Amino acid sequence: HKLTQQNIQLARKLEPELPAVMADPTQLEQAFLNLILNAVEAMPNGGQLTIVSRALSASEGSGKPTHVVVEFKDTGHGMTKEQRARAFTSLIQTTKRKGSGLGLAIVARICEAHRARIEIKSNPGRGTTIGITLPL
């Protein structure tokens, strides 16, 4: 298992009984796998990957969920503002390690096809959080 080999701890904070999203499960699996592999590449000396899922309501207090949010948080090297701006374009790599550089571009295309929003929060040396907000 690649996470164990690279001394990466996996934490899951998954909300039980999330509402179903209308999506191609194979494409979502590919997007999630790409985000996990991207996080692993950002932590060559180990670290922690936290995957969080939760339902999101359009307005607070309404109770009726309108979206599902899935976040991938790593404790890796982080990204500069310039890297974040180019992260979803093809052939951009944030590390000099192996890989095609297509991972995040593919994730962006899958999100676009599902009318999902993708967001990066990151600073150099502080890790990266990539969140996907999927409509129900």
Asked whether the beta carbons of 66 and 19 are under 8 A apart, the reply is no
Alpha helices in 13-95 (DSSP H): 25-41, 81-86
63-to-16, 45, 101, 132 alpha-carbon distances in Å = 15, 42, 40, 20
* Contacts of 50 by beta carbon, 8 Å cutoff, 6+ apart: 10, 11, 12, 13, 71, 72, 73, 74
| Separation of alpha carbons 97 and 28, rounded Å | 25
Residue that is written with structure tokens 């502080």 in the block: 126
pLDDT tens digits along 52-110: 999 999 777 677 899 999 999 999 999 999 989 888 886 555 444 444 456 899 999 99
Is 42 exposed, middle or buried (CB count within 10 Å of its CB: 0-12, 13-18, 19+)?
Answer: buried
**Tell me, what's the pLDDT at 113?**
97
Domains for the chain: give ranges and CATH numbers.
Answer: 2-135 (3.30.565.10)
**Tell me, what's the pLDDT at 61?**
67
**Tell me, what's the pLDDT at 103?**
81
| Separation of alpha carbons 20 and 123, rounded Å | 33
